[in-house]
Chain A
Amino acid sequence: MTHRMMAVFAVALMAVPAMVQGQSTVTATATIDQFFEVTGSGDISFGDLSRTADNVIDAAGGTGAATRTVSFNHNVNVSFTNIAANLTSGTLTLPITLRCAVNDGSWGTAEDCSGASFDLDVGTGLTNATLGFGGIITEAAAAAAVAGSYSGSLDILVVAR
């Protein structure tokens, strides 16, 4: 009797169809385009120049320095063009050496903007770095200049790398 019951049970198991299943996949894809922008305002402010000492503004966070924020979502290089070698007041000129620095976590050493080139690496998302601008107007240059209000500028160039 026992044998007969086991046989019936076995047949019943065989009658159940095997589980049939499948699996497939597709890939979800999105591409984020490259983005950067430079924001901020304010000038390098020397105030009244000294004729008896060099007039120096440290680009790396010094008093009177100007800053800009560069935001980027990919690695970039920052350099500078159209750098004024002289501030002007009408036809008058005042020699200056513009200085640039970058803070991407801490201030780096300031250097002449004419040769400065900063490689900035993106983090996991939008990344910000601060650019600092200062300059040097020597005692001699100030002493030789005519009194007046002088100004000059430089352009910031950001390119993907």
Chain B
Amino acid sequence: MRRFDWMGGALAALVTCLGLAQAVPVAGQATVTAVAELPLASPTGAGSRNLSFGTIVPTSAGPVAVTVPAAVAPSSASVHSGEFRLDVGTLRGVSVTVDTPNELMSAAASMPVDYNGAEFGAWCVDADAGCTLTAFNPATTDELRVCWRTVGSGSCHPIQNFPPGSVLSIYIGGALHVAPVQRAGTYTGTITLSIVQVY
């Protein structure tokens, strides 16, 4: 009889638990979170104008230095600085490096060229009024950092970005050293500009 009483108590407890389980609402609810990273826009752009020293009439009198300054306007139809145009809209800033050739090459000869001078490098952002040029020396500037706004340390401002559609223009000139007398022909070299977004 006592045993019966114990089992009866256990059964009663089980029924109670079942009753509690039936009290939970049948309807369910869950949450799924959508996650996406939207990187800042990639700086895009391309070289839009070649650096051209034009046609040089050689002389046997001595070496000739032919210089082309970094300028927006061409010196003539055949003499002008090289130009890169880069879309920097919505970026905080960019780091730019310019790799320049030491020689221009023809099929059978070469000709030294250098870029050592503040007159041979310039940049501007067309979101600024008038796109005022800022000079730099391509030969001594390892990295050109261009920010829309800077903080006291010189770093790019962390939350101020270039206005959408802003274009960074970079102009590269140079000094060509023509030997007396350089072999006739067309000489070329490649200037490569690399740009990295600054975070």
Contacts and interface: CB of A to CB of B under 8 A. Distances in A.
B39 A30 contact: no
Contacts of B83: 26
A19 interface: yes
Contacts of B10: none
Sort chain A's interface into a size bin.
20 to 34
A31 B79 CA distance: 11
A29 B50 contact: yes
Nearest to B110: A124
Sort chain B's interface into a size bin.
35 or more
A126 B195 CA distance: 40
Given A20-B41, A28-B101, A28-B174, 14 more contacts: A21-B42, A21-B195, A22-B194, A23-B192, A23-B193, A23-B194, A25-B47, A26-B47, A26-B191, A28-B104, A28-B113, A29-B53, A32-B184, A126-B179
B196 interface: yes
Given A30-B54, A33-B55, A22 B86 contact: yes
B164 interface: no
A126 B183 CA distance: 6
Interface in B168-194: 172, 174, 176, 178-194
Contacts of A73: 58, 181-184
Contact of A27 (B59, B86, B185, B188): B188
Given A20-B39, A28-B101, A73-B58, A35 B184 contact: yes
B60 A32 contact: no
Given A21-B197, A27-B51, A122 B184 contact: yes
Nearest to B58: A35
B186 A31 contact: yes
A122 B183 contact: yes
Interface of B: 37, 39-60, 66, 82-84, 86, 100-101, 104, 106, 108-109, 111, 113, 172, 174, 176, 178-197, 199
Given A24-B46, A24-B84, A28-B174, A124 B37 contact: no
Contact of A33 (B57, B109, B193, B199): B57
Contacts of B66: 30
A29 B188 contact: yes
Contacts of B176: 30
A28 B184 contact: no
Contacts of A24: 45-47, 84, 86, 192-193, 195
Nearest to A18: B39
B183 A30 contact: no
Contacts of B186: 29-32
Nearest to B87: A22
Nearest to B190: A25
A56 to B, nearest CB: 34
B191 A27 contact: yes
Contacts of B106: 32
A31 B187 contact: yes
* 9 cross-chain pairs, A with B, having the tightest CB-CB distances, nearest first: A26-B47, A30-B53, A26-B82, A74-B184, A20-B197, A126-B181, A28-B51, A21-B196, A24-B46
